[in-house]
Structure 1
Amino acid sequence: MDDQADAGEGGPEPPPEPARAGPIAGGLVTETLAYDGGRQVTVYVPPDTPEVVVFAGDGQEISQWGGLLEAAGAPSTMIVGVHGLADETSRLHEYSPVFDAERFAAHEKFFVKDVRRWVRSRFGVALPIERTAVFGVSAGGELALALGLRHPGIYGAVFSGSPGAGYKPPAVMPGSIPRVYLVAGTLEPFFLDNANRWAAALRDAGADVVMGERVASHGAALWQEEFPLMVAWAFGPRSGSAQGQVEASVSEMKTGELITGRPKSDAGASCCAEVGHPSPPRTPDQ
């Protein structure tokens, strides 16, 4: 997923790889759906009833991150990972609406309608908007932003890591915008500029947005470290926890705030403090 520009050189050393979780308690299910000659979707199914569902691009990779949420004590989260294409040009055309509108629209329909319908049928999961997010990194970060802005009646939160620059903030923002968590590294200036551009535009539109700036380069170390924090910020503590446990970087978050530095990765720390109560559930549009 290291696309579109060099991540940057010089400056502080990037953070080490985040601590890896042990064997997962949840399970992984991969099936091939009828799109584009057959497209795989991998779902991380948490050991407990899902409280949150995250739909992700590049799902062959992000679906494997459920163990990080388990280790962090995040809310019970199902990750629905729609596999991305290996060919970078084709992947960009599916993920960003500015390159090939027809290709993007076809993938958008598959991702937003067909995959959600399959999840309801296959797993019996159809959570309200306030418990549903769309997530992507790099070019997938563009996808998450595009789908979130185009479908605010489906996704209550957008998680975008190191977004590319193909899809830029529209001149006129939609009237309804999901909550947005952006993150990028100081050692990937191209992507950091893109994320900051989006954060500024979303703030100007009155959106609930957090922008995280980390000492990190373009890669999985940054995104894996941030993923549990994204889930904690959007969805609060695990059900049954009176107060929740959280790393300081999450508990200090405020809407529109720039969060600098690097989140802790202590194996014994848990990521999920109560950072706000969800609004009463709405029913996702079909």
Structure 2
Amino acid sequence: MPGCYPPRASVHDRIHIFGVFQIPWLKGARPVRVYVPPDTGAPPPVLYMFDGQNIFEDEPSHSGGWYLHHAARDLCARGGTAPLIVGIDHGGIHRMRELSPFRMRQRGQAPHLVRWIVDELQPQIRRAFDVRHDLAGTAVGGSSLGGLAALYAHWHRPDVFGAALCMSPSFWVAREKMLKFVSERKNPPVSRLYLDAGGNEPRVRPSTERMVKLLRGRGYGPDKLRWVFDPGAVHHESAWRRRAPGALEFLFA
């Protein structure tokens, strides 16, 4: 069961602990953090992010935070639309299994996690905050395995998520099975995608470039797909933090 969460009248431009949840099929309770953007008088879009302990401050991350709330705040200051950001903590040593849709050493649990987000977490977020409910205003994101899980969530539940933010996504997992997953399904009715990779990510870059080629062949033009290659960048939070402002601007500006 979740803990206490802030009411609709919460202070804006703050990070709140929304609750600590025990997710069915997954091991261990985990916090869910919510960044409430500055009040503009209109309901904001929502961005559900995997690896929630990494996306805001340096703590509790072990490798530095993305400061995604700063990027959202700056976007709002420039006249863009800042999303309400929901960060879902990963399960530590169980992270690889939790965020993979496909079997690795063990059966992937991403389908269970996505089901919980859609059936349990999203309704609570909508009750607690005045947010958009439309597809274009509901996005999912992450980096590495979180980026893989984000594209999976968008393609698996196109009736819920209309956009995906995939930084350095692990499309190489399970012999690039995510490419097959996408190729065998119709394009989502509403779809806006941000994908990137660094020059020093030897496993990530080739599979991501193949995914970009696949998507472009299915009609994804520059208005629907943003592909960013970051020469010299490594697989690290510091690189994702640097690229985060551009990702938010493409998805929400």
Classify the TM-score, shorter chain.
0.7 to 0.9
Does the aligned pair in 1 maintain the 2:102–2:108 contact within 8 Å?
no
Whether 1:34 and 2:22 are equivalent positions in the alignment is yes
Cα distance in 1, alignment partners of residues 133 and 245 from structure 2: 19
Contact 1:162 1:194 in 2 (8 A): no
Alpha-carbon displacement from aligned partner over 1:26-78 (angstroms, at most 9, x marks no partner): 11111112324533111111121542211100012214420122134342221
Distance 1:190 1:102, change over 3 A: closer
**In structure 1, what is the equivalent of residue 162 of structure 2?**
156
Q: 1:78-127 CA deviation, whole Å, 9 max, x = no partner?
A: 1001111211xx21111111125463332121123211111012224343
Per the alignment, residue 54 of structure 2 pairs with 61
- Once the two structures are superposed, the pairs formed by residues 1-286 of structure 1 within 5 Å of their partners are 26-30=13-17, 31-35=19-23, 36=26, 37-49=28-40, 50-64=43-57, 65-72=68-75, 73=77, 74-87=80-93, 90-99=94-103, 100-101=106-107, 103-164=109-170, 165-166=172-173, 167-170=177-180, 172-177=183-188, 178-207=191-220, 208-215=224-231, 216-236=233-253
Partner Cα distance (2:244, 2:95) in 1: 22
Q: Which residue of 2 aligns with 1:274?
A: none
Call closer, same or farther: CA 1:180–1:173 in 2, change over 3 Å: farther
Q: What amino acid sits opposite 2:54 in the alignment?
A: E
Q: Pick which of 164-173 and 223-232 moved more.
A: 164-173
Secondary structure of 1:196's match? helix
Superposed structure 1 runs of 4+ greater than 6 Å apart: none
Q: Does the residue aligned with 1:170 lie in a helix, a strand or coil?
A: helix
**Percent identity over paired residues:** 27
- 1:32 and 1:40 in contact (8 A); partners too: yes
Distance in 2 (alpha carbons) for counterparts of 1:108 and 1:45: 22
1:81 aligns to what SS in structure 2? strand
What secondary structure is seen at the aligned counterpart in 1 of 2:203?
A: helix
Q: Return the alpha-carbon distance in structure 1 between the equivalents of residues 209 and 22 of structure 2.
A: 37
Aligned-CA RMSD value: 2.1
Q: The residue matched to 2:180 in structure 1 has which SS?
A: coil
Mapped to 1, the partners of 2:54 and 2:154 lie a distance apart of 21
Amino acid at match of 1:93: R
* TM-score, structure 1 as length reference: 0.68
- Residue by residue, what CA displacement relative to the aligned partner does 1:179-213 show, whole Å, maximum 9, x if unpaired? 21101111212211121121111112223322100
Counterpart residue identity of residue 212, structure 2:
A
Q: Is the 8 A contact 1:173 1:205 kept in 2?
A: no
Q: Would the aligned equivalents of 1:129 and 1:154 in 2 still touch at CA under 8 Å?
A: yes
2:244 partner amino acid: F
Report if aligned partners of 2:38, 2:73 keep a CA contact under 8 Å in 1. no
Aligned residues: 211
SS in 2 for 1:80: strand
**Aligned-pair CA distance for 1:163:** 0.9
